[in-house]
Each structure stands twice: as structure tokens, then as C-alpha cells.
Amino acid sequence: MEFFSHVHPATPLVLYLPVIGWMLYVSFLHQKLSFLAVAGLFVGGVLIWTLLEYIIHRYFFHYEPKSQWGKQLHFIAHGVHHDYPQDATRLVMPPSLSIPLALFFYFLFAVAFGRFAPALFAGLVFGYVCYDAIHFAAHHFAMKRGIWLRLKQ
């Protein structure tokens, strides 16, 4: 399982920027949503991501599993980051976890929000990609003043 705990930091960008673009394309051209509607839903998706990241980080990433399988899964998903915080290959979520989670949330959004789901999902995924980029930067770049220091904090 060790192999699955290493991920190149650009992986979320490579995987999810095309998804964001596709979801925006679907929102405009297939769902026929206006620019303002897509922009508002996109921002809503970013806000949903912010709340979701807090909940996931607080209640799942810092949960102490009892079973051996649970401990291994937890280690791959987040524990390894605490053991090796300066390892650049252990700062983003492995695709073996992020892809199923993305699919889960897309289908949840599709059921809950119908034709508005692609724009909301684009915002959610954009929030995730930005979070991973900022998280990587906080660990590997000197962020000592201004907005960069604020983001690191």
C-alpha cells in the first residue's frame, strides 16, 4: 500500500482542470445557464468545498480507526502526510481516493441539484485543486508576508 501514498504534486491539476473545463462547458452549452448563474453556482461550489474540506479534515482525517484495514487506509489518505510533512510526493490525495470521492460527490450533486450540478461541481473541484496547490506551497515555498503568509496560516 506504500506505493499508493506517493503522488506527484501536479496530479490534481492534470486530473481535475479538464474536469472543471468540461463541467463549465456542460453548464453553458448543454444546460444553457447564463454567465451569472454559472458564476454564482461556481462560487457556491467553492464554498461547499471549503465546508466539506473542514468536515473531512476534522472528522475523517483525524479519526483514529480501530481495524488494521482502517489504519492502513487512514495512513494512505492522511496519516502519511503527518509522518512525512516535507515529502513533496505525500502532500496531495492519491487518485485512488480522490477519483472515487469526486465521482461520489458528482452523483450526489446530480441527484440533489439536477441541471445546476455541473457548475456547482466545477466550483467544488476548483476549490479542491486550489487547496492542494496552496497546501503544497505552504510546505515548500517561503511564504513570509502578505496574502501568501495569510494563506499559509
3 state DSSP class of 147: helix
Read off the pLDDT of residues 47-90 as tens digits, 9 standing for 90 and up: 999 999 999 888 877 778 788 887 777 776 666 666 666 666 66
pLDDT band for position 126 (50/70/90)?
A: very high
**Residue 136 structural domain:** 2-152
The total number of structural domains in the chain stands at 1
Whole-number Å distance between alpha carbons of 23 and 95: 19
Burial of 137: CB neighbours in 10 Å, binned 0-12, 13-18, 19+:
middle
Whole-prediction pTM value?
0.81
Q: Give the per-residue pLDDT at 121.
A: 98
3 state DSSP class of 145: coil
Residue with cell 490534481: 12
